[in-house]
Amino acid sequence: KHGLVFASVNSANVKLHMMQDVFFAVSRQIDWGADAQRFVEGLFQRQGYQWPSPGEPVALKEVAEANHVDDIILRRAFNQWLTKDLMKDTDMAQDFRIAVTQLCVNPLDPAGHDGVTVAPILQWLCGELKLLSPLKSAQIFSRITRHNARAMLRSLCRWLRLAGHKGLFLAIDIRQVTRTASVASEGVRFTSGAVMDAYEVLRQLVDDAELFEGFFLAVVADHA
């Protein structure tokens, strides 16, 4: 109803005390390709250019032909738009900016770009990339850890708004956290230390609320 992207995290299967795991769980529910496509189309439309096939990747040469401009000039202009609207947007973490910029290049190179840079970036965003070496060409050299995961979540909220959404609605089910390790027979078992760390993750999200753009957090717990 309010244009928010919905994502849910259940502590029964996500280590809530590890902020990076929370981010990865959210990231796996984001349609990164569709959002990049929407952003790129909007970028061209705001500059007065038509997108030949709405909702579908189109080679830049075809976009240039449809708008009766030289493709070399259009590519140079496109790179300038990306630099201005993404790479210089300091409301997003640098590595996040690099990642989504690469994703935005893909709709204009549908024939061969996917799998070379895009697939590893998606794996990196979702916590599924084992080695960082495939990302060296994209100038990404760091993993997403508990130290930068909150900044990545803030960046995601900003990115969703740039991609045409109103923001992110995140529902976190903490009922598993409230069950002692001896009682929880299935799923993630939280030690007393992990329980405190999980509450610290939530506290930090609340404390940083004013830094998040378009972010609604709902926490589900057992009745007292």
Looking at residue 30, the DSSP 8-state letter turns out to be S
What whole-number distance in Å separates Cα of residue 74 and Cα of residue 49?
10
Average pLDDT over residues 36-53: 95
Query: What are the Cα distances from residue 128, in Å, to 20, 101, 132, 144, 171?
Result: 12, 20, 11, 11, 22
C-beta neighbour count of 146 within 10 angstroms:
15
pLDDT tens digits, one per residue of 123-178: 999 999 999 999 988 899 999 999 999 999 999 999 999 999 999 999 999 999 98
Q: Which residue has the tokens 């005390």?
A: 17
Q: What is the pTM of this model?
A: 0.92
Residues 110/57, Cβ–Cβ less than 8 Å: yes
| Least confident interval from 111-120, 183-192, 194-203, 212-221 | 111-120
